[in-house]
């Protein structure tokens, strides 16, 4: 077994590919003149000189040296210099070639989770190229977002969420549920409650049976904050006028309760003029049309601001239940089943402006794997 093969068996190096180069003493001195970042003076403080063994490199001593070196965070380069017989220098460079990941799914949004608690990833540099390849739906893992789990301030769990183009995303309700399931799956949580820091607020999460319950904070009902023209509650679209209830779940919503069946209503004809009516909704608006099945059961279709119909979304479902209660059709504190195009959500709200909206819905850990960098 050669030196490289021995290195690859070490626990300290699992997840790396080791590149080895043998250079002369003269070349080393030439490339590491005093004053450079890794000058001879600095490197000598972290060198292991082996003058007693006939082995080229003693693996046991190398491990001891590595463990001691790891404690020194200020002068720990990714390239190791080891002195040898005949004034030779071995340059050994760690190169990460595989990234452990977890795939998670929540109401047809899927996520690639990269856990930076994993020591193997401490030297990795994620790039837009790597992210785009990992998210590619034709050739690679297939995902809507990349999420990096981190330990931020005061040892609290947090995350950074990125779109496939490497731009940072602020928030996703579907991801929040997957986040809770992931922490439980990895054994990071000792109980079935936690909270998560997002860029806008802190959300509290808990596991109820097999469902993730999310405290969605209180709804915004003031017209000027939603925003909607003060007191305006009707909007014209094409050849009809619709009554609506405005609600914000940190994004604006227009909820219209229909008497006619959604299946017989021409949604595509009417939603866009409402969404883009900036004379009533200065920042445009998410448009919801709702059928009432019973006091605690509604069906809805959702059209997203700046986009098109969305199959499922947590804020729209929450906003519709709030509107349903505000219009005094629903008993407060009761749980409401919201039927979306493909899924059902369970939402509750106590009916007071300072009360949070509570959402329950499952999330799944799909599989784990390794992504190989080429």
Question: What's the distance, Cα to Cα, between the start and end of the chain in Å?
Answer: 26
Residue 262 structure tokens: 């959604």
In 3D space, the residue among 305, 322, 347, 312 whose CA is nearest the CA of residue 219 turns out to be 322
Active site residues: 172, 313
Spatial distance between the Cα atoms of 244 and 234, rounded to a whole number of angstroms: 6
Residue 38 structure tokens: 């890794």
Residue 305 structure tokens: 């601001």
Neighbours of 99 (CB within 10 A): 21
Inter-CA distances, 348 with 217, 254, 320, Å: 12, 19, 11
SS3 135: helix
Inter-CA distances, 200 with 63, 128, 197, 203, Å: 44, 25, 8, 10
Burial track 221-230 (b if 16+ CB lie within 10 A, e otherwise)? eeeeebbbbe
Sole residue written with tokens 């959702």? 302
């Amino acid at each position: 077994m050669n030196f490289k093969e021995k290195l690859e068996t070490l626990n300290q190096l699992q997840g790396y590919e080791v590149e080895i180069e043998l250079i002369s003493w003269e070349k080393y001195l030439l490339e590491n003149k005093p004053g450079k970042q890794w000058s001879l003076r600095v490197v000598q403080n972290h060198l292991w000189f082996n003058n007693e063994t006939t082995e080229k490199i003693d693996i046991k001593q190398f491990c001891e040296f590595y463990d001691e070196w790891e404690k020194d965070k200020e002068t720990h380069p990714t390239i190791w210099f080891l002195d040898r017989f005949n004034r030779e220098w071995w340059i050994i460079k760690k190169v990460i070639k595989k990234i452990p990941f977890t795939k998670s799914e929540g109401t047809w949004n899927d996520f690639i989770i990269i856990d930076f608690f994993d020591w193997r990833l401490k030297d990795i540099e994620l790039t837009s190229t790597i992210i785009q390849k990992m998210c590619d739906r034709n050739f690679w893992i297939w995902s809507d977002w990349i999420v990096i789990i981190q330990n931020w301030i005061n040892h609290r769990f947090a995350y950074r969420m990125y779109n496939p183009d490497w731009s940072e995303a602020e928030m996703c309700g579907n991801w929040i549920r997957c986040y809770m399931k992931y922490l439980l799956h990895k054994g990071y949580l000792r109980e079935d409650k936690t909270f998560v820091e997002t860029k806008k607020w802190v959300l509290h999460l808990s596991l109820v049976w097999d469902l993730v319950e999310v405290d969605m904070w209180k709804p915004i009902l003031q017209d000027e904050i939603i925003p909607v023209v003060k007191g305006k509650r009707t909007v014209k679209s094409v050849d009809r006028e619709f009554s609506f209830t405005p609600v914000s779940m940190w994004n604006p919503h227009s909820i219209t309760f229909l008497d006619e069946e959604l299946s017989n209503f021409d949604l595509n004809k009417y939603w866009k003029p409402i969404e883009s009516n900036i004379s009533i909704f200065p920042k445009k608006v998410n448009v919801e049309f709702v059928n009432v099945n019973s006091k605690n059961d509604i069906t809805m279709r959702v059209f997203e601001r700046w986009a098109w119909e969305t199959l499922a979304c947590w804020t729209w479902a929450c906003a519709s239940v709030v509107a349903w209660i505000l219009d005094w059709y629903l008993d407060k504190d009761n749980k409401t089943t919201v039927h979306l195009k493909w899924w059902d959500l369970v939402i509750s709200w106590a009916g007071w402006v300072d009360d949070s909206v509570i959402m329950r819905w499952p999330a799944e850990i799909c599989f784990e794997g390794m992504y190989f960098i080429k």
